[in-house]
Amino acid sequence: AQTVTQSQPEMSVQEAETVTLSCTYDTSESNYYLFWYKQPPSRQMILVIRQEAYKQQNATENRFSVNFQKAAKSFSLKISDSQLGDTAMYFCAFLSGTYKYIFGTGTRLKVLA
């Protein structure tokens, strides 16, 4: 069975600094997708970034980028120039085959002014 592990329950970062959130996963599949979702307080989950496993190039979306290490089964999220609006729970998610997401337990990120 696939599992997703986020080992950092909470993190904080100063505004304008860079922070990296960790995610590791376990699977025997070769074709899959990985996602980072953001869940602001009392608001709905929003897709931050996605990565296809068959692509070697790391995905980027503006200030958000990933470091995808397929052999190590690692998928970290880097947030550059952190903003107060980045304060949220961040969930790493894995998807393969049946189209049901497997989520990690989340990392609570607080951006400090």
Partner 1 sequence: DTGVSQDPRHKITKRGQNVTFRCDPISEHNRLYWYRQTLGQGPEFLTYFQNEAQLEKSRLLSDRFSAERPKGSFSTLEIQRTEQGDSAMYLCASSQDSNLETQYFGPGTRLLVL
- Which residues make up the interface to partner 1 (CB under 8 A)? 4, 33, 35, 37, 43-47, 50, 91, 93, 95, 98-106
* Whole-number Cα distances in Å, 111 to 5, 6, 104: 22, 19, 21
Residue 30 or 113: the one with the smaller Cβ distance to partner 1 is 30
CA–CA dist 48, 5 (Å, integer): 18
Provide the minimum distance between the beta carbon of 104 and partner 1 in the complex, in angstroms, as a whole number: 5
In terms of DSSP bridges, do strands 60-61 and 3-5 run parallel, antiparallel, or are they unpaired?
unpaired
If the CB atoms of residues 19 and 48 are measured against partner 1, the closer one turns out to be 48
